[in-house]
């Protein structure tokens, strides 16, 4: 069994889909040790409780620096013998403390076809730009904002009638299929 920790800052729907894929046996060689969140109000916490999964709320404003914040996270990961880190809506750039400890072992999913529209509001940016296609990207995490090596992508059309909500729903459905598939290929097998 490979031990992973999932990081989330908000809703946690990708986290939940990963957990469901473990429950049904698709990701049968993975054990999620905990959910790590930087937000006390993250709905992902409620989702983790439904799976009886430990939650670590580690808020950056409780630390004097990003390095000390990440050192606390690293202690938790080492204590739980975590081998891989999966970002699922974690809204912080990962710094050198975690990048050095987990080089090539941190994954992220992003709601655009990277390298287009990194960062926040990718779906809104794609609509505003007038794109005909959007999608989701899984990539390795590096020190930049959604700049790590791309692992896999899925695309979907953008319709003239799309709003942020309708396109986001379509892209999220891609994410729910893509992320578990990439995790299975890289970590599970």
Q: Which two tokens stand for residue 186?
A: 């890289």
Options 17, 105, 110, 170, the catalytic residue: 110
Give dist(CA 101, CA 188) in Å, integer: 20
What is the full DSSP assignment across 7-44? EESS--HHHHHHHHHHHTTTTTTEEEEEEEES-TT-TH
Q: Does residue 110 carry a catalytic annotation?
A: yes
- Which residue has tokens 């729910």? 176
Q: How buried is residue 96: exposed, middle or buried, by Cβ count under 10 Å (0-12/13-18/19+)? A: exposed
Kindly list the catalytic residues. Answer: 110
């Amino acid at each position: 069994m490979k031990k992973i920790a999932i990081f989330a800052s908000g809703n946690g729907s990708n986290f939940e889909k990963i957990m469901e894929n473990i429950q049904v046996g698709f990701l049968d060689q993975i054990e999620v040790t905990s959910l790590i969140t930087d937000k006390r109000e993250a709905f992902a916490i409620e989702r983790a409780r439904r799976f009886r999964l430990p939650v670590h709320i580690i808020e950056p404003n409780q630390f004097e620096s990003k390095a000390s914040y990440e050192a606390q996270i690293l202690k938790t990961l080492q204590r739980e013998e975590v081998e891989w880190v999966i970002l699922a809506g974690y809204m912080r750039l990962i710094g050198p403390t975690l990048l050095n400890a987990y080089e090539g072992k941190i994954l992220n999913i992003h709601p655009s076809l990277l390298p287009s529209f990194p960062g926040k509001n990718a779906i809104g940016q794609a609509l505003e730009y007038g794109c005909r296609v959007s999608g989701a990207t899984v990539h390795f995490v590096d020190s930049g904002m959604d700049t790590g090596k791309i692992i896999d992508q899925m695309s979907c059309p953008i319709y003239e009638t799309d709003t942020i909500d309708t396109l986001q729903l379509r892209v999220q459905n891609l994410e729910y299929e893509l992320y578990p598939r990439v995790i299975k290929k890289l970590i599970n097998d």
